Amino acid sequence: MYNHAPENYKCPLCLLVNGIENEHTMAKQVDIVYRDDLVVAIINSKFVGNNPGHVIVMPAKHFENLYELEPEYAHRIIDISQKLAKAIKEVRKCDGIMIKQVNEPAAGQAAFHYHMHIVPRFKDDNYNKEIVNGNERVSDPSERIPYAKALKEYLKNHND
């Protein structure tokens, strides 16, 4: 429904979910901070301005966007987004959390597999301004490791 993925799309998030790292994937397996039977969450490869190391949560099954998402995946995604939001609050000592999820290129969708962004927000971080100014970059995998490690550690110790 309202699909934009090109024919024979090599879905980078399906590759990630299936444990593959190749030329089609920016994400590494060590970026994974949470997984269960329905969803996977990682430290996002792209870092934005003053808010590096945010998390995305995605269904393990391929759905291009919100319009297609099946209810059991949708429910798990919002449950886990809540769990991760609370964990990010503790680990990052941030002042707020922003949830963002975009559908179709006009809204800014680049990877054509549903994913919800969970972004730590800080007082006066100028998040929107940084986006407008194009201050978004692909991080080096090594930059993501401390964020992933801290969050995994927290989740391991707060498994409720």
Instruction: Decide if residue 2 touches its own copies (CB under 8 A).
Output: yes
21-50: contacts with its own copies (CB under 8 A) = none
Q: How many CA atoms lie within 13 A of 89 on its CB side?
A: 10
Cβ 88 vs Cβ 51: under 8 Å: no
As measured in angstroms, the least distance from the Cβ of 89 to its own copies is: 7
Strand pairing category for 39-43 and 55-59: antiparallel
Rg over CA atoms, the chain? 15
**Does the protein bind its own copies through residue 77 (CB under 8 A)?**
yes
Q: Does 98 bind its own copies (CB under 8 A)?
A: yes
- Torsion region of 126: left, alpha or beta (phi above 0 gives left; psi -120 to 50 gives alpha): left
Nearest to 61 by CA among 104, 19, 13: 13
Stretch that binds its own copies, among 5-13, 19-27, 106-114, 149-157 (CB under 8 A): 106-114
Binding of its own copies at residue 99 (CB under 8 A)? yes
Residues facing residue 136 across a β-bridge: 48
Binding footprint of its own copies, residue count (CB under 8 A): 41
Cα of first residue to Cα of last residue in the chain, in angstroms, is 36
If the CB atoms of residues 10 and 75 are measured against its own copies, the closer one turns out to be 75
Asked if residue 129 binds its own copies (CB under 8 A), the reply is: yes
Among 25, 44, 45, 109, binds its own copies (CB under 8 A): 109
Footprint of its own copies on this chain (CB under 8 A)?
1-2, 66-67, 69, 71, 74-75, 77-79, 81-82, 85-86, 89, 94-109, 116, 121-123, 125, 128-129, 131-132
